[in-house]
């Protein structure tokens, strides 16, 4: 039924039966996003977020595609990426919005073209690092994002692991310039000079000698994004044991598109 179901579902929310009210709320969010909810339901969700944020336990974060920024204020990240409608959320809600459900929308522009609006999630601070997620946003724009973030925040890292296509990417940018990076299918595969942690793993370094069977894989540098992250930033899969400060933030990239238009019943 699509949007034709919104009216009847709103009636269920308002008038019952009570056994269907919870399911109706989830269906409204799935069909029409927050814009399909009543003012009372939206206010109830916001209250629940505020209640859950202080005591949340984020657990492991996704480790397939993310950006890491050290010692950056939320305002600096928001300005660097020109984000809008920035609001506090739990980590579960932020990941649900930016990774698991609809996180990009195409809309017509005044000049007859088409532009894409994205949802972006910025995590709490973990041991001085904030991670940035957005499935479609990072996939479409990661190179520009890393450069812009490093220009405003001094340093930014991008990591991606695509097991389906056998692709791996890691990239480090400082002060708006590429410093070091690797792409499985890049041409060239490597940019920049090996970093200190890589040199320690190369033949003649601290970890291997010329007789070691594993030395050959470090002839040019480290290829694995997770290994790189563990050496120079943080791994998303271990944040639950790191010191956490603050809460997460959810934003959109287009001032003309609010959160309400994105469909999906988000976790809280």
249 close to 125: Cβ distance less than 8 angstroms? no
pLDDT in tens, 218-227: 667 899 999 9
User: What integer best gives the mean pLDDT of the chain?
Assistant: 92
How does strand 155-162 pair with strand 65-70? Answer: antiparallel
Looking at residue 205, its pLDDT comes to 56
DSSP state letter for 34: G
How is residue 259 annotated by DSSP? G
Supply angle C-alpha 103, 79, 191, rounded to 5: 80
Question: 80-131: per-residue pLDDT in tens?
Answer: 999 999 999 999 999 999 999 999 999 998 888 999 999 999 999 999 999 9
Q: Which of 180, 164, 183 is nearest to 172 (CA)?
A: 180
pLDDT at 216 over 80: no
The pLDDT, as a whole number, for residue 200 is 84
CA distance 154 to 38: 43
The predicted pLDDT at position 208 comes to: 46
* Position 259 pLDDT exceeds 70: yes
User: Do the Cβ atoms of 71 and 130 come closer than 8 Å?
Assistant: no
Indicate the pTM of the whole model: 0.91
Work out the pLDDT band at 37, boundaries 50, 70, 90: very high
Q: Which two tokens stand for residue 79?
A: 């300005």
Lowest mean pLDDT among 37-41, 64-68, 211-215, 262-266: 211-215
Quick one: average pLDDT of 22-48?
A: 93
Query: Is 233 strand, coil or helix?
Result: coil
The domain spans of the chain are 57-184+223-261
Average pLDDT over every residue of 138-167: 96
Segments of the chain assigned E as strands:
65-70, 84-89, 104-108, 114-122, 125-126, 129-133, 155-162, 167-174, 177-183, 190-192, 244-245, 248-252
214 band by pLDDT with thresholds 50, 70 and 90 = low
Any idea which residue has 């943080």 for tokens? 234
pLDDT over 70 for what percent of the chain?
Answer: 94
Vertex 88 angle, CA 263 and 98, to 5°: 35
Question: 3-class DSSP state for residue 213?
Answer: coil
Give residue 245's pLDDT: 93
Work out whether the CA dihedral 211, 216, 222, 227 comes out positive or negative: negative
């Amino acid at each position: 039924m699509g949007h034709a179901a919104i009216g009847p579902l709103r009636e269920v929310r308002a008038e019952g039966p009570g056994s269907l009210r919870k399911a109706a709320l989830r269906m409204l969010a799935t069909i029409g996003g927050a814009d399909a909810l009543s003012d009372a339901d939206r206010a109830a969700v916001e209250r629940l977020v505020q209640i859950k944020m202080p005591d949340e336990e984020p657990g492991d974060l996704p480790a397939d595609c993310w950006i890491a920024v050290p010692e950056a204020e939320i305002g600096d990240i928001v300005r660097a990426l020109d984000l809008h409608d920035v609001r506090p959320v739990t980590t579960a809600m932020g990941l649900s919005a930016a990774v698991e459900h609809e996180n990009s929308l195409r809309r017509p522009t005044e000049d007859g073209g088409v532009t894409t609006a994205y949802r972006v999630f910025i995590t709490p601070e973990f041991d001085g690092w904030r991670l940035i997620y957005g499935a479609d946003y990072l996939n479409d724009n990661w190179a520009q994002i890393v450069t812009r973030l490093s220009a405003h925040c001094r340093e930014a890292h991008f990591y991606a692991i695509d097991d389906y296509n056998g692709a791996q990417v890691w990239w480090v940018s400082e002060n708006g310039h590429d410093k070091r990076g690797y792409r499985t299918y890049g041409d060239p595969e490597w940019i920049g000079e090996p970093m200190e942690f890589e040199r320690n793993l190369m033949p003649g370094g601290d970890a291997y000698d010329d007789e070691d069977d594993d030395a050959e894989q470090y002839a040019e540098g480290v290829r694995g994004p997770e290994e790189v992250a563990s050496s120079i930033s943080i791994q998303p899969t271990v944040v639950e044991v790191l010191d956490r400060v603050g809460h997460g933030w959810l934003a959109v990239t287009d001032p003309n598109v609010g959160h309400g238009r994105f469909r999906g019943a988000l976790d809280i």
